[in-house]
Every structure is written in structure tokens, then in C-alpha cells.
Structure 1
Amino acid sequence: MPKKDMSTKEALLAAAREEFAEHGIAGARVDRIAQLAGVNKERIYGYFGNKEKLFDAVIQQALDEFAELTPSPGDDPVEYVGHLFDYYQEHPDLLRLLTWEGLNHRSRALPEQQWRIERCGASLGSLADRLGQDASPEVGRTLLTLKGLAMMPMVMPQLAGLLGAELDSPETIAAMREHIMAFARTALEGSTPVA
């Protein structure tokens, strides 16, 4: 019986998200996913085909949730960085899933690549508009840097620890959030048009 109040497919996606975030694509086991979901592992193959396609579905679901809850960087790029930082703090599995995806050297296109291109293009366009520029590789580098500021403390906690910048209390988390927002504000000062 799947987890209470979940369809079999939802239970499989929830269990797979936990398993993939912890173990990656290669280390994840369909037996553990099925057991955690409370279903027979054949249901995984029936719904998704194989483990890689299940991972793709998990990534798509996580990115859909992220897109739904994330403001446009063009609204306020500094607040955008703070929002991303908060989101990554509350959803560390997304960063882990994306890291595993990056480490899994697949030669084919990313799952839902066209949706990702459109979403990234919309973010790039909104930031370019805010900066009074055309969408360009330079604005793309700026957006990538803003995203990197927000995620780096969670992606490399060992480095944060070595530098004395652990995120081990509400106070240190708040201090890091303010620091990255101040850093983004300073970096963007010359780029943002005066309103």
C-alpha cells in the first residue's frame, strides 16, 4: 500500500526524491525506493520505464516546484539572491539532485531541455530588462553568479566550515544571507539603472 493519502506515482516520486538526493543516480536502488514508497518495484518500471527516467521525473518535479515558488530575478536581483538562499536552505534536496545530475555524465540532452531553455531564457530576459541591457552572455554570467552566490554555502559546507562560515545556527544562516545579498547589491550597483 503506498504512503497514506498519496497515489502510487506520487509515493514513488517522493521516495525516489529522497533516495536520489542521498545516493545519486548510480547509488540509488529501486528496491529501496519501492520499499520506502510501500509498493512493488515493478510499479517503478510500469510508471517510469527505468531508474534514469525516474530520476528525470524527480528532477522535473523539483524544478517545477522551484519555478513556481521563485520570483523573477528582474523584480529585484538582490531579493532574488536572498530568496534563492532561503529556498536552498529549505530544500537542500534540490541542490543535491542538481549536483548528482551534473556529475552523471550523460551525452543526451537534459530532461525537459526545451522547458529549461525557456525558463532560463525568461529569467535572463527579466534580469537584462532590469539592468537596462539586451539579453547576452554577459547578463547570463551575471545571473549564473547570482545563483552561485545563493547556493555555494550549501553546496560546499565543508569549505564554509574551513573558512569559519558554517551555517550551524539561525544567526549564522541570517548572517550569510545578509552577506550574499550585500555582495550582490554591491556588484550590481553599477549595472542597475536608476528608477
Structure 2
Amino acid sequence: MTRRDATLTRKKLLAAARKEFAEFGIAGARVDRVASLAGVNKERVYGHFGSKEGLFAAVIGAAMDELAEAVSEPGDDIAAWVGRIYDFHRERPDLLRLLMWEALHEWQEEPPGEQERLARYSMKVDALARRLDLPGGPEAATTLLSLIGLAAWPTAVPQLTRLIIGPHVGTQHAQEAIRNGVMAMAEGAVRNRSQ
């Protein structure tokens, strides 16, 4: 197998595994379904990733890289930044599903790649602290966590969003209202924090 073929196989496996893990979690996911969806032999999964857990870690890592690239550090317009996070999760709900499955699977352990994630989020905490003139550390970190949670929550729990917003939740008007509400809440929270 050439390097190009191996790279293509790896990409196919990651794409197939992302769908499988988002739907079934690590416990319910099946390597044979991933291989079938990717159009490769099941042994290729083990050849590239070593185990189902290794494949899951690679899928989570790739999804987190995607998030880090799509949503930069907070800048001057915190509400717009929160809006971008909301948009990202709305367009890619599988990432939140993967993170929830990871939390259920590895809730007491340090998941693979956590140190790299920690470094990325540490930079975002520092940027938010500078932007809001907050001391670094727990205050800025909890503010960042709250803003991300505000942006992600409507997508993370779609059933609750439907119950609260109502049957028209899928309309463009309702989605714009949710987005605008999330951004307004973020702006108000930031304004109160920086006073």
C-alpha cells in the first residue's frame, strides 16, 4: 500500500468512524460497520489505529482540531464569537454527541489528547481574560466555559430546546431567535463581568 493510499484509507476510516461513534458511542460502535462504511477491510482499522479505543481517540482529536480551527480565540466582539460557536455546533451536531459519548466513556480518566486540548483552551482563557480585563485563572476560565456552554446547549440537548421553543424550533426564524438570544445573553454576561 502506498503512502497516498494509506492516507486516503485513514481519512475514510475517520469519516466513517465519526458517524458510527456519534450515533452509537464507543460501547455501541462496531468496527465491522466502520470498515464497511469506509469500504475497507476491518483489519485496516487495527492497522491504522490499534484498537477501537484508538480509533475513537483519533476521531475525537480530529473533531477537536476542526473546532479549534473553525472557532478562534475570543476577540473584541464576544457576542459574535459566541454566535460563531453556536453556528459551528448547529452545523456539526455530531461533535457535541462525540464529546458527550467521550464524557460517558472516560468520565473519570484523562482522555487521550487532553494535554493538547488543555493547551488550546488555556490560550482561549488567556485571550478572554485580556479582552475582559479579568485576572487569568478560575474567573476567566469559568467565564469561557459558561460562554461555550451557552452557545452549545441548544444543540447539545435538542429535545429540551424543542420543549421550550415549541414545534416551530426547526424554522429559520426560530433558529435566528435562538442565536440572537444566545448572543444577547453572552453580551449581557460579559458586560456585567467587566463592570
TM-score, structure 2 normalization: 0.91
Once the two structures are overlaid, the 10-residue window that deviates more, 74-83 or 124-133, is 74-83
Deviation at 1:79, TM superposition (A): 1.1
Which letter does structure 1 place at the counterpart of 2:149? Answer: G
Query: 2:13 maps to what in 1?
Result: 12
Q: Note if contact 1:95-1:155 (Cα within 8 Å) is conserved in structure 2.
A: yes
**Secondary structure of 1:167 counterpart:** helix
Does the aligned pair in 1 maintain the 2:74–2:127 contact within 8 Å? yes
Distance 1:147 1:13 in 2: 26
Report deviation, 1:100: 0.5
Aligned to 1:3: none
For each residue in 1:98-133, what CA deviation from the matched residue of structure 2 results, as whole angstroms up to 9, or x when unmatched? 010011135442211221111010000000000112
Partner of 1:143: 144
The 2-side partners of 1:174 and 1:113 are apart by: 34
Residue 173 of structure 1: which of 166, 172, 175 is its match? 175
- Separation in 2, partners of 1:83, 1:53: 30
Counterpart in the other structure of 2:79:
78
Query: Which structure carries more helix by proportion?
Result: 2
What is the rounded CA distance, in whole Å, between the counterparts of 1:192 and 1:74 in structure 2? 14
**CA deviation string 1:56-84 (max 9, x = no partner):** 00011111111111121234221111000
Match of 1:23? 24
CA gap of 1:189–1:107, structure 2 versus 1, over 3 A, is closer
**Partner Cα separation in structure 1 for residue 74 and residue 169 of structure 2:** 24
Q: CA contact under 8 A between 1:74 and 1:123: conserved in structure 2? A: no
How far, CA to CA, are the matches of 1:44 and 1:75 in structure 2? Answer: 44
**CA–CA distance in 2 between the matches of 1:75 and 1:115?**
25
Q: Which SS does the other structure have where 2:193 is aligned?
A: coil
Equivalents in 2 of 1:112, 1:146: separation in Å?
A: 23
Q: Distance in 2 between matches of 1:120 and 1:63?
A: 11
Q: Distance in 2 between matches of 1:100 and 1:75?
A: 33
What is the CA-CA distance between 1:139 and the residue it aligns to? 1.3
1:184 to 180, 183, 186: 186
- Deviations 1:19-75 (CA, angstroms, capped at 9, x unpaired): 001110000000100000000100000000000110000011111111111121234
2:111 is aligned with 1:110: yes
SS at match of 2:170: coil
Identity %: 48
1:136: Cα distance to partner?
1.8
For the aligned residues, what is the CA RMSD? 1.7
